[in-house]
Amino acid sequence: MASNFRYLKNLPKNFRYISTTPAKNDAWLSKIFVRKIEPTKESHSRMLSDKEIVYSLQTHLFRADSKQAYLNNVKNTVELIKSQEPLSQAVELVGSWTVNVGDQDQALHLWSFKGGFEKIDSANEILSSNEDYTKLWDEQGKLVRSRHLQYLLAFSYWPQIKLRKPKNIYEIRSYALKPGTMIEWGNNWARAINHRQNNDEAFAGFFSQIGRLYNVHHIWCYEDLQARRETRESAWRSPGWDECVAYTVPLIREMHCRILVPTDFSPTQ
């Protein structure tokens, strides 16, 4: 991947490129050992993200016969959190969606915590002692088949999240990466994102910190499925996009996409 270096001029100023290519004399070692990475006293998450915000992604599989009751429950939970003054300053719902194409009877809710894990700890402490919240949580448990929570950080090179007005669909493309490849992923996508800015389709890009590890989520916003098709075809006509894709594909163990529709209480539509 030595050819990566010729793209350095396209990287954002705040993104640190980390070499994962073995030195020439050590090339034969790469066949048996993990690739050499430049020594650093910073964690990889600090290199990939420069934002003091932690995001939580809740993925719920609701019962097919309980969709409306479930959505009412989530809406009431959102309103309760908004009404709690210590929480409302730091905890915010970014987006709420149900899956239209992909895993059926599924909902995703994206929250932001300004102040990081410290705010998550304080929010959990406040909510655990709130009787109304506890009742809503118990009620929700009867309406869902499973719940999964991930804590995420936003990639530093991804555009800042901008809430959209109606009417849009969203696509979340989720990738399970091979362990040890997150830096390479960041190196490549810091360039690749430049090919996906023309139609303002980039909504958010995250990597997991707690929950399923080595997970990446890219969320895209489109007017409709036809606009999605046209936008993606336009990217393939952009010189360099195919090369970025070629570098990232070997890093992936599994990937899937879902088309999402905003709920009526989602801040972004």
As a whole number of angstroms, the distance between CA 215 and CA 252 comes to 10
Dump pLDDT digits (tens) for 80-139: 999 988 888 899 999 999 999 999 999 999 999 999 999 999 999 999 999 999 999 999
Query: Does position 12 have pLDDT exceeding 60, yes or no?
Result: no
Could you tell me where the DSSP H helices lie in the chain?
44-48, 67-83, 85-88, 117-128, 131-141, 182-192, 225-236, 241-248
As a whole number of angstroms, the distance between CA 236 and CA 132 comes to 50
What's the confidence (pLDDT) of residue 195? 87
**Which range among 24-28, 66-70, 116-120, 162-166 shows the weakest confidence by mean pLDDT?**
24-28
**Which range among 22-31, 164-173, 228-237 shows the weakest confidence by mean pLDDT?**
22-31
Phi (first) and psi of residue 91, to 5 degrees:
-110, 130
Please give the helix or strand (H or E) that residue 111 lies within, else none: strand 106-114
- Give the distance, in angstroms, between the CA of residue 193 and the centroid of all CA atoms in the same chain: 14
What's the confidence (pLDDT) of residue 174? 97
The CATH class, in words, for 25-50+159-262 is: alpha beta
Q: Where are the domains of the chain?
A: 25-50+159-262, 53-153
Q: What is the mean pLDDT of the chain?
A: 85
Q: Do the domains 25-50+159-262 and 53-153 sit in the same CATH topology, yes or no?
A: yes
Whether residue 167 is preceded by a cis peptide bond, meaning omega within 30 degrees of 0, is: yes
Query: Does position 18 have pLDDT exceeding 70, yes or no?
Result: no
Cβ atoms < 10 Å from Cβ of 9: 7
89, two tokens: 């300053």
Is residue 205 within 8 Å of residue 155, measured between CB atoms? Answer: yes
Closest to 194 (Cα-Cα) out of 150, 142, 157, 242: 157
Average pLDDT over residues 157-165: 93
Closest to 258 (Cα-Cα) out of 56, 99, 55: 99
Neighbouring residues of 8: CB distance < 8 A, sequence distance ≥ 6:
17
What's the confidence (pLDDT) of residue 88? 83
Residue 33 or 198, more confident: 198
**Which range among 80-84, 197-201, 202-206 shows the weakest confidence by mean pLDDT?**
197-201
Query: Does position 19 have pLDDT exceeding 50, yes or no?
Result: no
| DSSP-based three-state secondary structure for 41 | coil
CATH code of the domain occupying 53-153 = 3.30.70.100
Query: Does position 25 have pLDDT exceeding 60, yes or no?
Result: no
Q: Classify burial at 191, counting beta carbons within 10 Å of its beta carbon; exposed 0-12, middle 13-18, buried 19 or more.
A: buried
Neighbouring residues of 261: CB distance < 8 A, sequence distance ≥ 6:
97, 98, 99, 100, 169, 170
What is the residue-wise DSSP string for 126-191? HHHT-HHHHHHHHHHHTTEEEEEEEEEEE-TTSPPP----SS-EEEEEEEEEPTT-HHHHHHHHHH
Tell me the HSE value of 73 on the side-chain side, using a 13 A CA sphere: 20
Residue 215 or 50, more confident: 215
Query: Does position 165 have pLDDT exceeding 60, yes or no?
Result: yes
